[in-house]
Amino acid sequence: MADAEPRKESASCPMDFILRMLMGPWTTYILYNLKSHGPQRFGELKRRVAGISAKMLTERLRTLEGAGLLRRDYEATIPPKVTYSLTKRGHELDGVLNSLAEVGLRWETEDAAARSQRAAELKAAE
């Protein structure tokens, strides 16, 4: 049973790295917000995502920063001002997110249509 090769097939899947990033619980909300509302401060982002804890947000932002998807601008004013914005690389995901949203929207529409059709059939069957 024991597989000789540890799992080198991950190399054959370049999207794996990206998905591992997008996979985080709140990641898409964050990217979506930064994409649609532009650069934002920590508290602004936290308020907008609504439900995320500061710890999670920090951790996600650090991960995304480390991946080069967003930039962190720290101004050591009093009170401190930290602004997050998408990098060029971060914006390259816009296309992916868009096609994802497109498919999601299509499914939503299809499901709604199927639901209303079933409802109509149910009504006709009475």
Partner DNA sequence: TCTCTTGGTTACGAATTGGTACCTACTGGT
Partner DNA sequence: ACCAGTAGGTACCAATTCGTAACCAAGAGA
Q: Does 78 bind DNA (CB under 7 A)?
A: yes
By rule CB under 7 A, what string of x and - marks binding of each residue 83-122 to DNA? ----------------------------------------
40: three-class secondary structure by DSSP: strand
Among 43, 66, 68, 104, binds DNA (CB under 7 A): 43
126: three-class secondary structure by DSSP: coil
Strand order of the β-sheet with 70-75 is 40-41, 81-86, 70-75
Q: Does 53 bind DNA (CB under 7 A)?
A: yes
On the CB side of 81, CA atoms within 13 Å amount to 5
Using the minimum distance from each CB to DNA, give the nearer residue, 14 or 74: 74
